[in-house]
Amino acid sequence: MSDSSLERSTKINLLKEPAVKKLCDVLDKSSKKGWRKLGEIVGNDRRFRVSSDDMEMCSLKVLELEGSPSRMLLRLMGERGCTTGQLADYLQTVGNSEAQQCLKPPALQILLQPQSVALISGHNLRLSCLASGRSPVQYQWFKTKEEVPNSFSADLVISPVHLKDAGFYICRVNSGDAFEFSRWAQVEVMDVTVSCGQSYHSLEGRLKMVIQPQSQRLYVGESLQLECGAVGRPIPRYQWHRNGVPLPNATKRKLMIPHSIQDHSGRYRCEISSSTERMWSNEVDIVIEPRISVQISVAMECSEDDVLTIGEGSSAFFLNSIPDHLYATDKVALLIGNLSYQNHPQLKAPMVDVYDLTNLLRQLNFQVVSLLDLTETEMRNAVDEFLLLLHKGVYGLLYYAGHGYENYGNSFMVPVDAPNPYRSANCLCVQSILKLMQEKETGLNVFLLDMCRKRNYHDDSAPNIILRVTANIVFGYATCQDAEAFELSSSGFTNGVFVKFLKKRLLDNEKITVVLDRVAEDMGQFDATKGKQALEIRSSLSERRALTDPILPGDSGDHAHRLQWAKAHELPESMCLNFDCGAQIKLGFAAEFSNVLVIYTHIVKKPENMSSCQAHVTDFSQDLDVDPKEMNRETPEETGIYLLSSNLPQHCLYTRVSSLQKLREELVFTVCLQGTFPAMDDESVHWTKSISIGRPLIARLDLNRAMRRNSCLQTCLIPHSPSHSPCHSPCHSPGPEHHLHPPHGGHQVQDFSRLSPLHLCPDVTERFQGAVGGCGDSYYDNLCQPFYEPAAGLSSSPGRLSIPIETTDDITELQTVFINSLQLQQQ
């Protein structure tokens, strides 16, 4: 095949970005010989027929920042198999000579780049680099800076490959006076003769796990080393997780912690991914135990299991015994964020706050369930499940963000289905939950209440909740009594004021009250809310209890329920679906919250005789919150997945399934494959498969069930009588007139215009607008911007780590060293 025919047969989706950008600029600017004319001509070609809907989709790109209709059109043509030669013929028909010049091939062009690969020692290694030039092409392969002997062809073959062959490879291509370097390709070689008792004949296609991490029991100060490995092309990417949270900078195949401490204990597993696939290693338990030095002066008998080390000639040795400092028998956290209220103002920050705190608490070895938008029944059942996990010595933490109020020293959390106006019978009383927690003899009870604490004048009940005197209670209120809490006013994702400062301190190894004191000091320096919101701490804590305290499991507790709770946080296994036409679809899953599931689809294999192929999911239960307009989108952000977007595989269609707690039966949906064939005039053909993934995540706990007799409802229900006062509570005002007139009975209503972000607080809005509900039809609505922005805006949030890209810092550094070495050789 000649070089010219090779160039014409190149698919247009392989064109280099500079050429594509230049071509798009020319076609976008031309009115008569631009992308519309090109689309009209291509639309008449049966091979790459462009429909009117396609053209309309291209035209909408002008509405996007830096959007290009031409780029969208070229992308569609590339997906349908259009080559550079065919595009050149179309441009000649259009009569745009400037656009034709953009396709003129350079003197030397690399058409096929070598791919990084991970393989097993003893297998065959093949790296390929294919180039075209105006004169004969010559090749030379390098390993780092050294030439590979006798490597003068487009393919570098090492058979068999050994451990010493691992490293970075690059190919230099010459054509006359022109030369180009390929991309770097990393070769990873694993010796798994012992670890793996099976053979792997192909590296193409799906990833294959060959090394699994192993559980370990270590002592403080010892080195922790975990290893996992997978083979595949391109080389897999790794991300280690502890207790479900990605570990910073843990993106290598081997995880090494030279000097372990007790905080490193937990459940570890590794996420292995490529551009199209994701898989997980086994989850293993790592236990780091303390060393206790004991001095003895008499002979004593001890077992091998008890003695760690005995120094020769020394009377000191270490026993595997319980440390004398404070510890928890377990750590459990329930996080609830209510934002999509049915009868009250919508909120924004609770979703971000719950997400960030979930990641932080998991780093502290808490079992965390994070839930969004719960009704009254769902909230009560969620609290019941939370209480079942508490027993003697457990650290229990409850975080709530949403509308709320406080009457007579008792705090009430407002469900999303609360009526207007609401009273105590419609809400959950925090002190009632505390009473039930005290009965469990917990080691620490922490309540973080990120809500309004204004008086509710519609509720004149006087609850009588008698609490035990215990020295282990901590309340962290986001604001003072009879005051509002705020969330930052932004067009995108931001935390509320409380969590904005709390997340910076939560991992500190300090007594929990000391942590909250420092948060209060930080909030006091925040100009936007100074004088309007101040953290209030109430505590009966007499010991130095900290959220960082280690866990030493006790004998008590409902182990069966713990197992059920753990299963309720397991994701469905990813699966590959094979269709009769020969297409293969990858179906994957991710959890954004305990009741929010992300489903993504990817075309793994497309039959050669099919011109286009697309897969999407549909037919979800009406119980679930799935917006048809936001299903099967090309980016996570388009379907409302902002917080998790950087951790999802690329080039998929994404669907966000919310409110899993409402699911009454197994989650069943349909995967629909749509394909077109040139032989059938590109008429669409459909195939469907019905998929059941059981009851994923929190759906297994039946939070929508009828409440039991011993539910927390029994202690949350408080007698009340309707209020006949025409004054509405500042925590839920039906109209702006209530900001202007005092209520009956002589109570003075606060002038909320003084707190208005329009006047004194331009960068915050009142969080949980029940406090200023009267502004619902006023200027206040204009200050609440849509709750979205690109995921990059959350880069500072703890625990949110991007999946590492293949071009690592090592390769970038190697590129610089290599080029410098070549320049020195030429000198």
pLDDT value at position 235?
86
Least confidently predicted of 597-611, 686-700, 800-814: 800-814
Confidence class for position 570, pLDDT limits 50, 70, 90: confident
Annotated catalytic residue 403: yes
Confidence class for position 259, pLDDT limits 50, 70, 90: confident
Give me the sign of the Cα torsion angle 83, 86, 87, 88: positive
Q: What is the mean pLDDT of residues 48-61?
A: 84
Residue 738 has pLDDT above 80, yes or no: no
Residue 523 has pLDDT above 80, yes or no: yes
80-125 pLDDT, tens digit per residue, is 888 888 888 889 898 988 888 888 767 788 888 998 888 888 888 9
Mean pLDDT rounded to a whole number for the chain: 77
Tokens, residue 46: 């049966």
Residue of 582, 587, 583 lying closest to 653 (CA atoms):
587
Pairing of strands 444-450, 473-477: parallel
Residue 446 has pLDDT above 60, yes or no: yes
Helix, strand, coil content of the chain in percent (nearest 5): 25, 25, 45
Name the more confident of 603 and 798: 603
**pTM higher than 0.75 for the full model?**
no
Q: Of 344, 403, 458, 732, which is the active-site residue?
A: 403
Q: Please name the amino acid found at residue 802.
A: S
Q: What is the mean pLDDT of residues 525-551?
A: 89
Q: What angle do CA 22, 26, 29 make, to 5 degrees?
A: 135
Q: What is the mean pLDDT of residues 601-618?
A: 86
Q: Please name the amino acid found at residue 215.
A: S
164-203 pLDDT, tens digit per residue, is 999 999 999 998 888 889 989 999 998 876 443 444 444 4
Beta bridge partners of 232: 118
Q: Of 452, 712, 716, 761, which is the active-site residue?
A: 452
Residue 779 has pLDDT above 70, yes or no: no
Least confidently predicted of 263-277, 393-407, 549-563, 759-773: 759-773
Residue with tokens 């009377």: 315
- Distance, CA of 326 to CA of 550 (rounded, Å): 8
- Distance, CA of 225 to CA of 206 (rounded, Å): 27
pLDDT value at position 560?
65
pLDDT value at position 821?
61
- Distance, CA of 543 to CA of 445 (rounded, Å): 13
Least confidently predicted of 142-146, 293-297, 641-645: 293-297
Confidence class for position 61, pLDDT limits 50, 70, 90: confident
465-480 pLDDT, tens digit per residue, is 888 888 889 999 999 9
Annotated catalytic residue 616: no
776: Cα within 13 Å, side-chain hemisphere: 17
> What is the Cα Rg of the chain in Å?
31
349-391 pLDDT, tens digit per residue, is 999 999 999 999 999 989 899 999 999 999 999 999 899 888 8
Pairing of strands 367-372, 330-337: parallel
